[in-house]
């Protein structure tokens, strides 16, 4: 009974954020929403042959607004296909002179964003339940989901730009909760496997935090853990299998699409660059007359150093929540092309990390700083751009509202400095949270070697 009252109280606290999201949703859209309509139309036309078209090479014939490839999991396209059945409005795109126009239909915008907003709310609720299970009580248990739900970046992604990263985040957090508290039952193990598989089946980037969980499964559960990993892998494979069995060649086309978007280069425009090293390389190449692209190819070394540090620290403490959260943060702290939607899971994982390490001053300090920096970008950038660029009949009051909340910063150098600070802060968070424990693991290994 008390739990029901607590949830109702939380929902009332989240209600203004929910209302704000639905107010903004119909009158704004990023470029991915009209592109996703093209993906959905192709899926409805070709069914299981969809991945034959995923590389974008037939974008014009398929009526896509852009030539961007589809590099996501099969669960997303299934959902998009269902939404397209109830929201079939036409995406209008054409050239007029040297200008390319793309307009998204309102029914499609609302349908897609309603799903995103729903899962944004579910993530907030899942964070609250996690806080309760971790022994956080009273106002602090409410504070954790509020920090997530009212972060300007999460509002921006679900209700203004429109991207789906909150969906795999919800399934991952729920799977993590099941793994932590219900894994000792057969049903708990099956649900754990399904939830993690669904998370990865929506977006493959969720593999990054899962690396630590895979290690935890093998070390703590040995043969059963190996079987659990096999089950999760099999479930993810089962999502892809119908597509690739129906059209075997589509596997290579999909791998080609993944390779095309993962090959390091510059990110343009520079205001969308959230990796500090890439931002510096891009700025230097534009104004220095040299090609610094090679810098972006070195991101893997930064990631591997951070991952090794996380694994060594995990071996000492065996804190699954802490280190799987750091596993994703290591990804956004190092990857050469961090898009703003990737920072929604970073927000969720940073909050989980702080809940788990609530007595660690440095973790709380740098965690809050990371969250503040993530939330700062939508306030810096004039996000009202998305209230008219793809909206055929813009709502002037929405543009004025968004502009009134924006710092209206246009100087690209400011965004480079911002990206550098964000990247270094994430790296500092990981380092200060793991270094001492990693050193203890190394010392322990040295002692064992000496004894032998």
Interval 80-100 mean pLDDT: 97
Supply angle C-alpha 27, 32, 33, rounded to 5: 45
- Are 352 and 173 in contact by the 8 Å Cβ rule? The answer is yes
**Total Cβ atoms within 10 A of residue 448:** 9
Categorize the per-residue pLDDT at 207 as very low, low, confident or very high, splitting at 50, 70 and 90.
very high
Q: Mean pLDDT across the chain, nearest whole number?
A: 95
Among 123, 213, 217, 129, CA closest to 169: 123
Tell me the pLDDT tens digit for each residue of 319-369.
999 999 999 999 999 999 999 999 999 999 999 999 999 999 999 999 999
Domains of the chain, residue spans: 2-446
Q: Which helix (H) or strand (E) holds 93?
A: strand 92-96
Categorize the per-residue pLDDT at 2 as very low, low, confident or very high, splitting at 50, 70 and 90.
low
Say what the pLDDT of residue 137 is.
78
Alpha helices per DSSP H over 182-275: 186-202, 207-246, 249-262
Widest Cα–Cα separation across the chain:
77
Peptide bond into 269 cis (omega under 30): yes
- Are 321 and 356 in contact by the 8 Å Cβ rule? The answer is yes
Say what the pLDDT of residue 6 is.
84
Three-state DSSP at 106 gives helix
| Burial class of 240 by CB neighbour count within 10 A (0 to 12, 13 to 18, 19+) | middle
More confident of the two residues 188 and 138: 188
Alpha carbons 350 and 356: distance in angstroms, whole number: 10
Backbone phi, psi, residue 95, to 5°: -95, 140
Tell me the pLDDT tens digit for each residue of 282-312.
998 888 778 888 889 999 999 999 999 999 9
Tell me the pLDDT tens digit for each residue of 412-433.
999 999 999 999 999 999 999 9
Three-state DSSP at 100 gives strand
Report pTM: 0.96
Backbone phi, psi, residue 96, to 5°: -135, 105
- Are 328 and 209 in contact by the 8 Å Cβ rule? The answer is yes
- Give the tokens for residue 177: 């909760």
Alpha carbons 92 and 439: distance in angstroms, whole number: 58
């Amino acid at each position: 009974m008390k739990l029901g009252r607590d949830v109702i109280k939380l929902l009332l606290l989240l209600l203004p954020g929910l209302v704000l999201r639905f107010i903004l949703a119909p009158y704004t859209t990023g470029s991915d929403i009209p592109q996703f309509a093209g993906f959905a139309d192709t899926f409805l036309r070709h069914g299981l042959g969809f991945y034959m078209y995923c590389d974008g090479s037939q974008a014009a014939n398929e009526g896509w607004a852009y030539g961007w490839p589809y590099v996501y999991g099969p669960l997303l396209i299934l959902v998009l296909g269902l939404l397209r059945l109830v929201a079939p409005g036409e995406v209008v795109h054409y050239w007029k002179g040297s200008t390319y126009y793309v307009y998204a239909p309102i029914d499609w915008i609302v349908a897609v964003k309603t799903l995103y907003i729903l899962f944004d709310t579910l993530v907030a609720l899942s964070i609250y339940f996690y806080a309760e299970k971790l022994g956080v009580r009273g106002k602090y248990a409410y504070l954790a989901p509020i920090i997530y739900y009212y972060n300007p970046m999460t509002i921006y992604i679900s209700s203004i730009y429109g991207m789906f990263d909150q969906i795999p985040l919800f399934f991952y957090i729920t799977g993590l909760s099941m793994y932590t508290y219900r894994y000792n039952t057969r049903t708990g193990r099956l649900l754990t496997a399904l939830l993690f598989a669904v998370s990865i089946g929506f977006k493959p980037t969720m593999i990054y935090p899962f690396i630590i969980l895979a290690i935890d499964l093998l070390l703590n559960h040995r043969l059963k853990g190996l079987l659990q990993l096999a089950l999760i892998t099999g479930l993810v494979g089962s999502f892809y299998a119908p597509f690739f069995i129906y059209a075997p060649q589509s596997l290579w086309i999909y791998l080609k699409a993944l390779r095309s978007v993962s090959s390091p280069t510059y990110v343009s425009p520079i205001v969308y660059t959230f990796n500090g090293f890439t931002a510096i390389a891009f700025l230097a190449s534009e104004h220095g007359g040299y090609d610094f692209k090679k810098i972006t190819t070195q991101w893997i070394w930064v990631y591997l150093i951070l991952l090794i540090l996380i694994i060594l620290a995990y071996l000492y403490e065996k804190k699954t929540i802490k280190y799987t959260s750091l596993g994703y943060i290591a990804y956004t702290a190092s990857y050469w092309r961090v898009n703003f939607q990737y920072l929604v899971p970073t927000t969720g994982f940073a909050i989980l990390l702080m809940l788990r390490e609530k007595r660690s001053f440095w973790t709380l300090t740098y965690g809050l700083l990371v969250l503040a920096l993530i939330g700062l970008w939508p306030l810096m950038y004039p996000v009202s751009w998305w209230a008219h660029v793809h909206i055929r009949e813009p709502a002037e009051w929405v543009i004025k509202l968004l502009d009134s909340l924006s710092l209206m910063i246009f100087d690209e150098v400011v965004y480079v400095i911002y990206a550098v600070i964000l990247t270094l802060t994430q790296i500092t968070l990981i380092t200060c949270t793991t270094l001492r424990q990693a050193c203890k693991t190394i010392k322990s290994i040295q002692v064992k070697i000496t004894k032998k």
